Structure 1
Amino acid sequence: MAYRVETGDLTDPAILDLLRLHLDEMYQWSPPESVHALPPEKLAEPGVTFFAAWDGTSLAAVGALKELDAERGELKSMRAAPGYRGKGAGEAILLHLIEEARRRGYRWLGLETGRPEPFQPAARLYAKHGFRECGPFGDYVSDVFSMFMSIDL
């Protein structure tokens, strides 16, 4: 399936609903100190670019690229809509974010995800595209719940 990926409108009700679902699930599956997903107001801050993948007029997935410095970026708030899980929507966003990172001249891209079972499909997707487990970066600290992954671009 082909998705149209574009800069996302953080006032769009469909996008806000998916981000709310994402945050609710993160708090359901994670201890509060290990929830690193960004709410919409943080996704709108300078240095963060938010994207949405669309299937016609239906929102399929979201994700963001946060600039850490001139050569490094971080993936944030990656989430496929429930009806699009396993249908390539998350992969479409991931590939777009990797390409955007390369276009910006980043040499490294990192992410934080959880270790428990609900996070394993995402971890497998990242690994499929070359991400490997690494240590904490930026302001993160090591904890048993979080998994950090990175790729050299």
Structure 2
Amino acid sequence: MRIEVDDLSRPEIHALLNEHLQSMHALSPPESVHALDLDKLRQPEITFWSVWEGAQLLGCGALKELDARHGEVKSMRTPAALRRTGAGRAVLAHIIEVAKSRDYARLSLETGSMEAFRPAQALYESFGFSYCGPFGDYTDDPNSVFMTKTL
């Protein structure tokens, strides 16, 4: 399994991000979808990684710099057919290590509050993230759960 910085140009990435956006829109009302499209992921404050096994895309994740001491986990996704391969754990561990190397004091994230998001919440909990209130530009939303980890 290899994790690499991704320039978001490959069709496999486009397909996975399309799956991600479709899933988020199917599970949440439009005003509660905070997933980023390709253009928003190409912003300079975001680093995007993809996870590969040979030529097969296993997943992705991104780190957004909110300020010099605070980062946000974004775009965590594994293809539905390839869940439970360890790619999500691997990319999250990588994101945490990069955040530490950047001297962030805190790493936060937003995910859904519905039952479909419980596996993601459990993954984040297993890495020491705890529930918190909204951060950055987020506001209270019954469809969102906010989590943070002190680094």
Q: TM-score when scaled to structure 1? A: 0.97
**Which stretches in structure 1 are left out of the alignment for 5+ residues?**
none
Q: What residue is the counterpart of 1:149 in the other structure?
A: 147
The 2-side partners of 1:65 and 1:50 are apart by: 7
Mapping 1:5-84, distance limit 5 Å? 5-84=3-82
Tell me the CA shift for residue 83 of structure 1: 2.6
In the alignment, which residue of structure 2 is the partner of 1:132? 130
Q: How far apart are the structure 2 equivalents of 1:45 and 1:145?
A: 26
Separation (CA, whole Å) in 1 of partners of 2:81 and 2:7? 20
For residues 15-50 of structure 1, the C-alpha deviation after alignment (integer angstroms, 9 at most, x for no partner) is 000000000000000011100000011101110000
* Per-residue deviation, residues 72-124 of structure 1 (Å, max 9, x unmatched): 00000100122321121111110010001001110100000001111111100
Give the Cα–Cα distance (whole angstroms) in 2 for the partners of residues 84 and 126 of structure 1: 19
The 8 Å contact of residues 9 and 15 in structure 1, kept in 2 or not, is answered as no
Structure 2: gaps spanning 5 or more residues: none
Amino acid at match of 1:46: P
SS at structure 2 position matched to 1:59? strand
Distance across 2 between alignment mates of 1:118 and 1:85: 13
Distance 1:55 1:30 in 2: 31
Q: Kindly indicate whether residue 109 of structure 2 is the aligned counterpart of residue 111 of structure 1.
A: yes
Count of aligned positions = 151
Cα RMSD (Å): 0.7
CA distance in 1, matches of 2:52, 2:101: 22
Partner in structure 1 of residue 120 of structure 2:
122
Whole-Å separation in 2 of the counterparts to 1:131 and 1:120? 14
Aligned partner of residue 110 in structure 2, secondary structure: strand
What is the percent sequence identity of the aligned residues? 52
